[in-house]
């Protein structure tokens, strides 16, 4: 599907065909595309937790206040981020770059984030947002429907998935084939309310 068509037609789907399955090659292609999402200093904070266990899906649905798509979609991804990825062997992020670039960027990365907890967290959340949009648009271009969920009890979900120390949960993403057409858009703000030039 052409990019602008995918952008225009992507909607948050609530009802999925519970019989639809995503072939392994499609899933791999989708994750590989998502991993090309940009991150600051190429840190790649995101961690994708694929939920395939039926019992766990049911428990997660309960933690998401009964939202059926958590259980009914072909795929459920809990998009998380490692807040401390900036300090975890940062040389990995520039392993394929020329030595001259590595020698500059790795120390620069470390100094940029060191001691700045709010910035570390903000950066991890930004990375989740970029990855989520890449995943949803890539899925749409492949003929799948998606939905991003933040309506859940984060503490319960963290407990259920054994979220590691120093990680955060960005959102859940459901992927599959829509069983019911998504509702129409609730209302888009006019461009002159959201686009400004130079100053506000």
Least confident of 6-10, 42-46, 69-73: 6-10
- 130 assigned to some structural domain: yes
pLDDT at 181: 83
Helix (H, G, I), strand (E, B) or coil at 190: coil
The CATH number covering residue 36 comes to 3.40.109.10
Q: Is pLDDT of 158 > 90?
A: yes
- 86 assigned to some structural domain: yes
pLDDT at 1: 80
- 107 assigned to some structural domain: yes
**DSSP conformation class of 41:** G
What residues contact residue 163 under an 8 Å CB cut-off, 6+ apart? Answer: 80, 157, 169
Question: Which residues span the domain enclosing 167?
Answer: 3-194
Q: Looking at the chain, how many residues does it have?
A: 200
Q: Is pLDDT of 99 > 90?
A: yes
Mean pLDDT within 52-58: 98
For the stretch 166-186, pLDDT in tens is: 999 999 999 999 998 888 888
Q: Judge whether 30 and 43 are in contact, CB under 8 Å.
A: no
The helix-helix angle for 117-141 and 24-34 (nearest 10°) equals 140
Mean pLDDT within 187-197: 94
Q: Is pLDDT of 90 > 90?
A: yes
**Distance (Å, whole) CA 127 – CA 7:** 19
**Distance (Å, whole) CA 80 – CA 172:** 9
- 199 assigned to some structural domain: no
Number of domain units in the chain: 1
pLDDT at 153: 98
**Distance (Å, whole) CA 135 – CA 33:** 7
pLDDT at 182: 81
- 200 assigned to some structural domain: no
């Amino acid at each position: 599907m052409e990019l602008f068509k995918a952008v225009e037609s992507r909607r948050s789907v609530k009802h999925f065909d519970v019989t639809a399955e995503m072939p392994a090659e499609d899933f791999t292609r989708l994750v590989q595309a998502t991993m090309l999402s940009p991150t600051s200093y190429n840190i790649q904070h995101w961690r994708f937790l694929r939920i395939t266990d039926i019992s766990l899906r049911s428990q997660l649905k309960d933690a998401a206040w009964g939202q059926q798509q958590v259980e009914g979609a072909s795929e459920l991804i809990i998009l998380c981020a490692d807040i401390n990825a900036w300090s975890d062997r940062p040389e990995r992020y520039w392993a394929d770059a020329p030595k001259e670039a590595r020698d500059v960027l790795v120390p620069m990365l470390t100094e940029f984030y060191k001691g700045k907890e709010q910035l570390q967290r903000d950066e991890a959340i930004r990375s989740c947002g970029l990855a989520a949009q890449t995943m949803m648009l890539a899925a749409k271009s492949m003929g799948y429907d998606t939905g991003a969920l933040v309506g859940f009890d984060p503490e319960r979900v963290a407990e259920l998935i054994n979220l590691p120390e120093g990680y955060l949960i960005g959102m859940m993403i459901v992927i599959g084939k829509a069983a019911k057409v998504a509702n129409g858009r609730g209302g888009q703000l006019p461009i002159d309310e959201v686009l400004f030039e130079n100053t506000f």
